[in-house]
């Protein structure tokens, strides 16, 4: 099975016809369709599949017998109306690379596993890299079980509906002990490779990043009769906070974004009772991240006070800076130097499962060129030739790491 064939099979699953974007949220029917594709594909490649206690899927070439397996893969879930590459490119490339290695007659000296981690985007339950965080114990199982989606459905309920036992959730040290290294392939979510003229790059590390929910609670009132001095309108401090987020990003050389807002009751002729907003922040180092977020929060509190609105902040997740394993990076760079292409080493502001696993085993990532840099959008794209270059690079890396 070629990359193109596998890609074409996965392409229609969970795609919204109107927007052309994907809505592959954890433990939904779209997610189940992607999981069935994963199991069917692994089976055709002769790989044994298992679903771990936390719902992550694994396809094994060789049995997980403690010989420091090499993990590749990525995730299959999407942000709302996301593109098709963010996540799936890593899983499809992993299967395609294994297919190539098989065809070449390669016999791995240690096991190779293709993983598809659950809820990497946090699009349904709000915690990014949920599957890998559970696997490594970075999030507590009982906390995770109580996470709720926007309809109030808990992770535990959603897993039960999908036929999984949420009672099994939690750190899986036995599985982790069987893993020796991790190399996740991912589309670049920026345009550095495009600028450098390189189809493939290697990740040096991940910026520290976090997500905060800001709740502004005012008082619902009639928009057509309530005098300005009588208003407690939470939309006003919210708006000031959006502008403060941009200013903080500029000031600190960081990325700070408000991409999700829910105003209640949400009537055109009513002053809002509450505005919920989500602040996404990333920075080159932990201190800069903290300074940028503190600056935004200071404006939020000050503007809330000015409008007699209550401001509250909930930290949904914070991931410290990740530096990928230097030895693994050097080894992979050496392998890829043989391709004749430049193979730049990049840092990224995006969180990934490889970043979570990096706390437990040597890990890094391969990035595939994104000509426009657009991601988390239906317009996300990679050229077929670059995808093939990614598969070839991954196959070379896997052959090296699992070859001895």
- The position carrying tokens 């190539």 is 100
CB of 177 to a second copy, least distance (A): 31
Q: Which residue, 174 or 250, is less far from a second copy as judged by CB?
A: 250
Q: Which residues contact 225 (CB under 8 A, 6 or more apart)?
A: none
Q: Which is nearer to a second copy, 135 or 350 (CB)?
A: 350
Strand partners, 148: 154
- Between helices 3-10 and 88-103, what is the axis angle to 10°? 150
Is the CB of residue 181 less than 8 Å from the CB of residue 108? Answer: no
Of 266 and 384, nearer to a second copy (C-beta) is 266
Least distance from C-beta 339 to a second copy, angstroms?
24
CB of 52 vs a second copy, minimal distance in Å: 25
Shortest Å, Cβ 267 to a second copy: 4
CB of 15 to a second copy, least distance (A): 13
**Residue with Cβ nearer a second copy (258 or 401):** 258
Helix (H) or strand (E) holding 73: strand 69-75
Q: Output the smallest distance, CB 256 to a second copy, in A.
A: 9
Taking the least distance from each CB to a second copy, the nearer of 185 and 255 is: 255
Q: Are 353 and 120 in contact (CB under 8 A)?
A: yes
Least separation, in Å, of the C-beta of 331 and a second copy? 26
Give 230 or 327: the residue with its C-beta nearer to a second copy: 230
Give the CA angle between residues 41, 45, 46 to the nearest 5°: 115
Handedness of CA 149, 152, 155, 159 (dihedral sign): negative
In DSSP notation, 5-41 reads: HHHHHHTTTTB-TTT--B---TTSHHHHHHHHHHHHH
Cα(30)–Cα(23) distance, integer angstroms? 7
Nearer to a second copy, 84 or 99 (CB): 84
């Amino acid at each position: 099975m070629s990359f193109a064939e596998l890609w074409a099979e996965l392409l229609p699953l969970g795609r919204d016809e109107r927007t052309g974007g994907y809505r592959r949220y954890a433990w939904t029917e779209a997610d189940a369709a992607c999981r069935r594709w994963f199991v069917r594909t692994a089976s055709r490649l002769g790989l044994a599949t298992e679903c771990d206690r936390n719902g992550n899927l694994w396809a094994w070439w060789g049995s997980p017998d403690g010989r420091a397996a090499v993990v590749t893969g990525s995730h299959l879930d999407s942000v709302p109306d996301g593109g098709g590459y963010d996540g799936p490119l890593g899983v499809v490339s992993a299967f395609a690379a294994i297919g190539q290695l098989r065809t070449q007659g390669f016999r791995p000296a240690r096991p190779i596993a293709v993983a598809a981690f659950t809820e990497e985007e946090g699009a349904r339950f709000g915690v990014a890299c949920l599957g890998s965080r559970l696997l490594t114990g970075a999030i507590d199982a009982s906390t995770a079980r109580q996470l709720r989606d926007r309809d109030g459905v808990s992770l535990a309920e959603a897993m039960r509906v999908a036929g999984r036992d949420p009672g099994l959730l939690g750190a899986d040290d036995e599985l982790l002990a069987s893993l020796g290294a991790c190399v996740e392939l991912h589309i670049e979510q920026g345009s550095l490779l495009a600028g450098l003229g390189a189809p493939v790059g290697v990740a040096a590390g991940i910026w520290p990043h976090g997500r905060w929910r800001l709740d502004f609670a005012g008082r619902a009132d009639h928009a057509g009769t309530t005098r300005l001095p009588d208003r407690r309108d939470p939309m006003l401090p919210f708006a000031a906070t959006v502008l403060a987020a941009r200013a903080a990003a500029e000031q600190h050389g960081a990325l700070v974004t408000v991409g999700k807002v829910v105003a209640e009751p949400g009537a055109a002729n009513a002053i809002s009772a509450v505005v919920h907003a989500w602040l996404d922040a990333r920075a080159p180092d932990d201190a800069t991240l903290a300074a940028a977020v503190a600056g935004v929060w200071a404006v939020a509190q000050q503007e809330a006070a000015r409008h007699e609105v209550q401001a509250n902040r909930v930290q949904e997740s914070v991931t410290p800076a990740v530096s990928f394993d230097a030895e693994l990076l050097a080894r992979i760079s050496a392998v890829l130097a043989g391709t004749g292409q430049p193979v730049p080493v990049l840092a990224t502001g995006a969180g990934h499962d490889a970043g979570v696993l990096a706390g437990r085993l040597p890990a890094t990532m391969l990035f595939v060129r994104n000509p426009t840099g657009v991601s988390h959008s239906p317009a996300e794209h990679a050229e077929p030739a670059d995808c093939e270059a990614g598969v070839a690079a991954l196959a070379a890396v896997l052959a090296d790491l699992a070859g001895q």
